[in-house]
Structure 1
Amino acid sequence: MQIHVVKEGETLWTISHHYGVTMNEIVAANQLENPDKLVIGQALVIPTISQTTGPKPVIDVNAYTINTGETGAKEIQEVGKYLTYWMPFVYSIQEDGGLTSLDDTAMLQSASAERIVPIMAITNFSATAAGSGLAHTILASSELQDKLLTNILSVMKEKGYQGVNIDFENVFPADRENYNQFLQRAVDRMHPEGYSVSSALAPKISGEQKGLLYEAHDYEAHGRIVDFVVLMTYEWGYRRGPAQAISPLNEIKRVLDYAVTVIPRDKILFGFQIYARDWLLPFVQGQEAETFSQQEAIRRAVQYKVAIQYDPIAKSPFFRYTDEQGRQHEVWFEDARSAQAKFDMVKDYHLRGISYWVLGYPFPQNWLLLEDNFTIRKRI
């Protein structure tokens, strides 16, 4: 694969002629909706002979889903060959140690057909609740922890999950050690039964980092106790915050520089978001950005005839446009260049692999480049 950035005056014909491939091959690789309309700065994957020499790194690839039922099952089928693990989001914990239910039967069937290891994701928070108090209730009681772990094991045995991913967020700093002990308790219960235990971690840059998101996430303890961790290296460009790159590589590098000092590299999954965001300008507190696919980002750049720019520090593409009401917008998204930059970082740091948040946002370039860069491990 090669990546071509569209320049002024170029057409799909001139680009295809330059690389000696057909226009249809470029259209298919990038799923271009209107091949006659390219914009300056648009990154295209060119399906040429791979430039990679020697064996490709072997990695694990995980993806979360938020859609359930047949919709979620279809998302898994579409990219199943690229996945090692799949985690449906989410089984929510309850104050009595119980769990909410999830419509996951069709998804589990898809995962099985694609030889993907299904991992049960549990969490304490929701769209409307931070979950700090709920986490404290569970973490302060060994009795409730035992009940919760018994319920997790029951669901895993009934449905065929092969591990649990623990995503406790907004945990009170005072519960840090209780959280570590819960992880150890989970491992002690799960490992004899043949199940894995993993966790999701906020993107920290030091062990002393302050804030509700960070303080109870003890990188060293998680790295020692669980089988692997998902670093949630995204959401700098938060939907309720000001416009900026969602996953700026310069910030991710700071997280990895710290993480690898206390977590074994072969336990780290690099978090990669695969959605775009559109913010209204100027930012107003309480305003929420629109979230959509990379394909929709390209459609908007084409629709408003604006050039795509590329931030060389964040290694992220973006553009601005004015809508029909005269309002200014700023869009940050991912493209072939930013995906390749992230893959290079996974290689540079010799990480276990990649974890995608979240399926349901088409990004064809990503999957082609992923396969071009890596051999994806299938564990079943």
Structure 2
Amino acid sequence: MWETGRHRGRHVQRQRTTRPWPLVLGLVLVLVAVGAIWLPRALAWRPTVIAAVPYWDLERGLVSVAQHGSFLDEVTPWWYGLAPDGSIVSDLPGGADAENTALIRAGGGGMRLVPTVASTNKGVWAPHVVHDILQDTQRMNAHTDALVSLAVSHGFAGLQIDYEDLEAGDRDLFTSFVTILAARMHERDKVLYVTVHPKTTDAGYDARNMAQDYAALGRTADRLVIMAYDWHWQASEPGPIAPASWVEEVVRYTLSQVPADRVVLGLGLYGYDWVGARGEPVVWRQVEDLVARTGATPAWDEASASPHLEYTLDGAVHEVWYEDARSFDIKLALAEKYGLAGVELWRLGDEDPGTWTVIRDRAT
């Protein structure tokens, strides 16, 4: 629009400029509103959620993967062990055909497969096999070749090694092995995760803790998976398997050694049913069945943030400590609080269905 204006005694023609401020202000308000919605979501904690599927409960584990795959990023099939000579073997019954079928089902929802190779032989822990490998450079190189070949030949995204109960004297050799293996895996665009025993100091509780140098392993492995469970275990007196306060201590120590973006918190979805000082593993569904059969009343232990119950069967008093959705949520909140890279669920198969609601609400 044109208007006439006076300037130093002369009439001049000038263009009226529409002031842009209302438009700019409106745009800013829109961006602020969009940011208020989008930014918290963009900055929200989104951990990698990994689920272990053990060979001894394969069908129920695979059913859980199929039902809840939308909440999972990765699956770790747990059925590879070691022969006495250090070669890799599968403990899954049925041979290669059964294994291929199981792998297809495990990754059917688009999840990455990062299988675990454990220091077991025919289902029994065999730490001496790893010890012998570490002591012999030729055997260690052959074992490294076998691991890389397994990952490449099957098209896995990588591997997780779970070499437990090592000797304290194996510490430097184990670090050297992981360093070499990680480099070899990375050359083939594969990831390497290392499972470690939980501890709150470098020395930890025994030799197996000392054998694992968190700081050194965390510099080379893509993820350090902390087994934050079995505070009470199968051969201990009854008690909580993962007291929340202890889990937090483990997390804090781990983060003093390893960056948070390399730490995965292993969370248990199981428990033990003790008679005296001997416990039998149970999952949540089995506990629910016990409650229905015996009329036992679950209780909540505030000190450990864990559920438990007692019942009597055939004259024997049983004490059960286990994990449910409530206790899982408390520990998942710790992973969120410290900004960890992810969580690994040990293990799938008749876990509390509420676990998936917790994951949906807190981690996705």
| TM-based fold match above 0.5 | yes
Give the alignment of 1:63-142 within 5 angstroms: 63-67=51-55, 72-101=61-90, 102=92, 103-126=98-121, 129-142=124-137
Q: Which amino acid aligns with 1:275?
A: Y
2:315 pairs with 1:326: yes
Which residue of structure 1 lines up, in the alignment, with residue 361 of structure 2? 372
Give me the whole-angstrom Cα distance separating, in 2, the residues matched to 1:144 and 1:173. Answer: 20
Give me the whole-angstrom Cα distance separating, in 2, the residues matched to 1:153 and 1:130. Answer: 22
User: CA shift at 1:66, angstroms?
Assistant: 1.1
* Cα 1:300–1:210 shift into 2, 3 Å: closer
Which residue of structure 2 lines up, in the alignment, with residue 299 of structure 1? 289
Give me the whole-angstrom Cα distance separating, in 2, the residues matched to 1:357 and 1:296. Answer: 16
Contact 2:260–2:339 (CA under 8 A) maintained in structure 1: yes
Structure that is richer in helix per residue = 2
Q: Secondary structure at the match of 2:89?
A: coil
TM-score (norm 2): 0.81
Give me the whole-angstrom Cα distance separating, in 1, the residues matched to 2:141 and 2:115. Answer: 17
Which residue of structure 1 lines up, in the alignment, with residue 305 of structure 2? 315
* Cα 1:66–1:220 shift into 2, 3 Å: same
Give me the whole-angstrom Cα distance separating, in 1, the residues matched to 2:179 and 2:347. Answer: 28
Which residue of structure 2 lines up, in the alignment, with residue 351 of structure 1? 340
User: CA shift at 1:145, angstroms?
Assistant: 1.8
2:350 pairs with 1:361: yes
Q: Secondary structure at the match of 2:357?
A: helix
Give me the whole-angstrom Cα distance separating, in 1, the residues matched to 2:242 and 2:205. Answer: 21
* Cα 1:209–1:336 shift into 2, 3 Å: closer
Contact 1:234–1:247 (CA under 8 A) maintained in structure 2: yes
Which residue of structure 2 lines up, in the alignment, with residue 290 of structure 1? 280
Contact 1:86–1:111 (CA under 8 A) maintained in structure 2: yes
Q: Which amino acid aligns with 2:359?
A: L
User: CA shift at 1:225, angstroms?
Assistant: 1.1
Give me the whole-angstrom Cα distance separating, in 2, the residues matched to 1:129 and 1:157. Answer: 27
Deviation readout 1:124-145 (Å, 9 max, x if unpaired) = 2357754232112111122212
Give the alignment of 1:195-214 within 5 angstroms: 195-214=190-209
User: CA shift at 1:251, angstroms?
Assistant: 1.4
Contact 1:92–1:123 (CA under 8 A) maintained in structure 2: yes
Contact 1:131–1:171 (CA under 8 A) maintained in structure 2: no
* Cα 1:218–1:243 shift into 2, 3 Å: same
Q: Which has the larger radius of gyration?
A: 2
Counterpart among 178, 183, 207 of residue 183 in structure 1: 178
Give me the whole-angstrom Cα distance separating, in 1, the residues matched to 2:232 and 2:154. Answer: 36
Deviation readout 1:81-131 (Å, 9 max, x if unpaired) = 221111111321234341113443123212332111111311223577542
Q: Which amino acid aligns with 1:346?
A: A
User: CA shift at 1:147, angstroms?
Assistant: 1.2
Q: Secondary structure at the match of 2:209?
A: coil
Contact 2:262–2:341 (CA under 8 A) maintained in structure 1: yes
Counterpart among 227, 238, 241 of residue 236 in structure 2: 241
Contact 1:90–1:122 (CA under 8 A) maintained in structure 2: yes
Contact 2:224–2:262 (CA under 8 A) maintained in structure 1: yes
Give me the whole-angstrom Cα distance separating, in 1, the residues matched to 2:59 and 2:199. Answer: 36
* Cα 1:138–1:310 shift into 2, 3 Å: same
Give me the whole-angstrom Cα distance separating, in 1, the residues matched to 2:312 and 2:172. Answer: 50
Q: Which amino acid aligns with 1:291?
A: P
| Corresponding pairs, count | 317
Give the alignment of 1:50-65 within 5 angstroms: 54-55=40-41, 56-65=44-53
Which residue of structure 1 lines up, in the alignment, with residue 226 of structure 2? 231
Which residue of structure 1 lines up, in the alignment, with residue 146 of structure 2? 151
User: CA shift at 1:367, angstroms?
Assistant: 0.8
* Cα 1:359–1:72 shift into 2, 3 Å: closer
Deviation readout 1:180-200 (Å, 9 max, x if unpaired) = 000011011110110001100
Q: Which amino acid aligns with 1:83?
A: L
RMSD between superposed Cα atoms in Å: 2.1
Structure 2: state its 5+ residue gaps: 1-38, 93-97
TM-score (norm 1): 0.78
User: CA shift at 1:208, angstroms?
Assistant: 2.3
Give me the whole-angstrom Cα distance separating, in 2, the residues matched to 1:231 and 1:195. Answer: 20
Give me the whole-angstrom Cα distance separating, in 1, the residues matched to 2:104 and 2:212. Answer: 33
User: CA shift at 1:346, angstroms?
Assistant: 1.1
Q: Which amino acid aligns with 2:286?
A: E
Structure that is richer in strand per residue = 2
Give me the whole-angstrom Cα distance separating, in 2, the residues matched to 1:132 and 1:338. Answer: 32
Which residue of structure 2 lines up, in the alignment, with residue 267 of structure 1? 262
Q: Secondary structure at the match of 2:332?
A: helix
Contact 1:88–1:119 (CA under 8 A) maintained in structure 2: yes
Contact 1:70–1:106 (CA under 8 A) maintained in structure 2: no
User: CA shift at 1:70, angstroms?
Assistant: 5.6
Which residue of structure 2 lines up, in the alignment, with residue 164 of structure 1? 159
Give me the identity figure in percent.
25
Give me the whole-angstrom Cα distance separating, in 2, the residues matched to 1:105 and 1:71. Answer: 17
Give me the whole-angstrom Cα distance separating, in 2, the residues matched to 1:314 and 1:329. Answer: 19
Give the alignment of 1:29-44 within 5 angstroms: none
Contact 1:308–1:318 (CA under 8 A) maintained in structure 2: yes
Counterpart among 235, 251, 257 of residue 246 in structure 2: 251
User: CA shift at 1:71, angstroms?
Assistant: 5.7
Q: Which amino acid aligns with 2:291?
A: A
